[in-house]
Amino acid sequence: MARLEGRTEGLTDVDLDLVRRARQFVAEHVASHASRWELDRRVPTETFALAAQQGLALMLQPEKEARADVPSYLGVARVAEEMGAGCLTFALPLLAQNYVAWAVARHGTLEARSSLLPQMRAGSLFGGFCLTEPGAGSDVAALATTARRVGGKWTITGEKARVLLGTEARFFIVFAKAKGADGSVGVGLYLVRAGLPGVEIGDAYAMVGGHALGCNSVRFWDVEVSDEDMLLPPGQGFSFAFDAIDFARLYVAATACGMLRAGLEEALQYTTGRMAFGQRIVDFQGPQWMLADVATHLLASRALVDEAVTCVSDRARFTPAVAHAKKFVTQVALPGLATCAQLLGANGLLARNASGRHFQCAKIAQYLDGSTEIQNLVIARSLMRTI
Ligand SMILES: Cc1cc2nc3c(=O)[nH]c(=O)nc-3n(C[C@H](O)[C@H](O)[C@H](O)COP(=O)(O)OP(=O)(O)OC[C@H]3O[C@@H](n4cnc5c(N)ncnc54)[C@H](O)[C@@H]3O)c2cc1C
């Protein structure tokens, strides 16, 4: 198989080791299994646990970024690319667990931290990030879930939509509107365990693809949580959400680089091995130009991911930089993967081949953590601030 990995400049020894482990893990446990997960509509929790044991879960630890044994943001981006080359449905749930774990690690009680984080690190326990609602997607400020003060506790009421790994999660971090101590209404963040009375976990959505993501709706019918389970008070929830979403956008973009790379490698392999009209398909100029265009988009995509990583410590630059990266990579991945599938002829339709499977996932990536149009909104706002 052709290999079109990215540059290794700027990666530390820890990063290189993790990238190597991710590549090997994907080859052994993901690439040849992902189509079966999709056909069976199964969430591969046992594969997540195996990956966690290889250090591929909870890799992001911003407060420890300076430590020598922790991978850098660039390193995690390259790992995300490797995982995406296997399957978005493998990469995304593992990456998303980082943001859930941050909320617990930074704002949870000692009891929450010690009961949840070790199991999350081992890949045996998952949490759901509950921001989106049936009536509030792009416009998250319109969220309608509430947390009310009743009898010295918080009562959570509302419905959350499209919760990644929601079918498997044993707890949720829930963004809800609440009245603060000064009487003003703001969004707070609450930790809600799945077993509490009033928590109703929906079945996985039937989607056009991506069933291994375990995506569903979760309803909270007057669920009581204690003060200790308020992770962030009213007014502070959104700042955490947007911080997490910036990182999520970066790593969705890196994952989409991996999908595009896998499609290109497969198309290169196929057109080099397949004969038509007395010569290799790759020797016709038409296919060469198709491959060349995808390769250009892959390089440009990686450059935008790398550029975003360089802005990580400056929020004002990081937010638009990840919006550029997420928008561009997911925009070129979809037609790029269609091109790769086209180069495989009817083989491009087979579930076991990467191009068709990644094509479905590339569409999903266009919505994740804000649609393409919302990235444009972020970019345009940052442009207007320069005037
Ligand atoms: C597989 C999957 C997993 C997800 N996981 C999670 C999760 O774990 N937790 C979570 O909270 N959310 C999750 N999401 C939700 C995701 O973040 C939302 O789907 C996304 O923010 C878009 O919201 P929406 O789908 O409701 O689209 P809508 O808000 O209904 O938008 C519909 C269309 O209108 C466009 N639009 C909206 N506003 C504007 C505007 N101002 N200008 C121009 N166009 C506009 C949008 O771009 C889109 O094309 C997930 C989504 C998917 C697909």
Sign of CA dihedral 57, 63, 66, 69: negative
Tell whether 7 is covered by a domain: no
In 3-state terms, what secondary structure has residue 362? helix
pLDDT at 83: 97
pLDDT at 4: 83
User: 287-312 burial, b for 16+ CB within 10 Å, e for fewer?
Assistant: beebbeebbebbeebbebbbebbebb
Average pLDDT across the chain, whole number: 95
Whole-Å CA distances, 302 to 77, 79, 84: 9, 13, 13
Tell me the pTM. 0.96
Q: Measured between alpha carbons, how far is 110 from 127 in angstroms, rounded to an integer?
A: 17
Which is the closest atom of ligand 1 to the Cα of 132?
11
pLDDT at 67: 66
Q: Quick one: pLDDT band at residue 285, thresholds 50, 70, 90?
A: very high
**Is it the case that residue 173 has pLDDT exceeding 60?**
yes
**260 and 229 within one domain:** no
pLDDT at 66: 56
Question: What is the phi/psi pair of residue 354, to 5°?
Answer: -70, -40
Tell whether 1 is covered by a domain: no
Residue 233 CA to ligand 1 center (angstroms) comes to 25
CATH of the domain at 164: 2.40.110.10
Residue 130 CA to ligand 1 center (angstroms) comes to 13
Q: Quick one: pLDDT band at residue 5, thresholds 50, 70, 90?
A: confident
Say which residue, 4 or 44, is predicted with more confidence: 44
Tell whether 73 is covered by a domain: yes
pLDDT at 63: 60
Tell whether 170 is covered by a domain: yes
- Domain end, chosen from 105, 121, 137, is at 121
Which is the closest atom of ligand 1 to the Cα of 130?
11
pLDDT at 172: 98
Q: Quick one: pLDDT band at residue 162, thresholds 50, 70, 90?
A: very high
Residue of 38, 131, 162 to mutate, ligand 1, most atoms within 8 A of C-beta? 162
**Is it the case that residue 2 has pLDDT exceeding 60?**
no
- Domain end, chosen from 175, 208, 235, is at 235
**256 and 227 within one domain:** no
**266 and 208 within one domain:** no
**350 and 252 within one domain:** yes
pLDDT at 7: 79
Percent of the chain with pLDDT over 70: 97
**194 and 154 within one domain:** yes
Residue 10 CA to ligand 1 center (angstroms) comes to 34
Which is the closest atom of ligand 1 to the Cα of 213?
1
Report the pocket of ligand 1 as residue ranges, CB < 6 Å: 129-132, 137-138, 162-164, 210, 213, 215, 364, 367-371, 373-374, 377
Which is the closest atom of ligand 1 to the Cα of 175?
11
**Is it the case that residue 1 has pLDDT exceeding 60?**
no
Q: Quick one: pLDDT band at residue 210, thresholds 50, 70, 90?
A: very high
**281 and 300 within one domain:** yes
Degrees to nearest 5, angle at CA 45 with 105 and 201? 75
pLDDT at 271: 98
255-283: pLDDT as tens digits: 999 999 999 999 999 999 999 999 999 99
- Domain end, chosen from 121, 136, 152, is at 121
* Protein residue with least CA distance to atom 4, ligand 1: 162
Q: SS3 helix, strand, coil % of the chain, rounded to 5?
A: 55, 15, 30
**Is it the case that residue 295 has pLDDT exceeding 60?**
yes
**Is it the case that residue 62 has pLDDT exceeding 90?**
no
* Least confident range of 6-10, 71-75, 202-206: 6-10
113-127: pLDDT as tens digits: 999 999 999 999 999
Q: Quick one: pLDDT band at residue 59, thresholds 50, 70, 90?
A: confident
8-40: pLDDT as tens digits: 889 999 999 999 999 999 999 999 999 999 999
* Protein residue with least CA distance to atom 51, ligand 1: 368
CATH of the domain at 31: 1.10.540.10
- Could you tell me if 332 and 295 are in contact, meaning their C-beta atoms sit under 8 angstroms apart? no
Q: Looking at the 3D structure of the chain, how many domains does it have?
A: 3
Which is the closest atom of ligand 1 to the Cα of 131?
11
Which is the closest atom of ligand 1 to the Cα of 371?
47
- Could you tell me if 322 and 253 are in contact, meaning their C-beta atoms sit under 8 angstroms apart? yes
Among candidates 169, 167, 144, 147, which has minimal Cα distance to 156? 147
Residue 72 CA to ligand 1 center (angstroms) comes to 29
pLDDT at 222: 98
**47 and 22 within one domain:** yes
Q: Which residues constitute the domain of residue 334?
A: 239-385
**370 and 245 within one domain:** yes
Q: Measured between alpha carbons, how far is 82 from 44 in angstroms, rounded to an integer?
A: 18
**One-letter amino acid of 242:** F
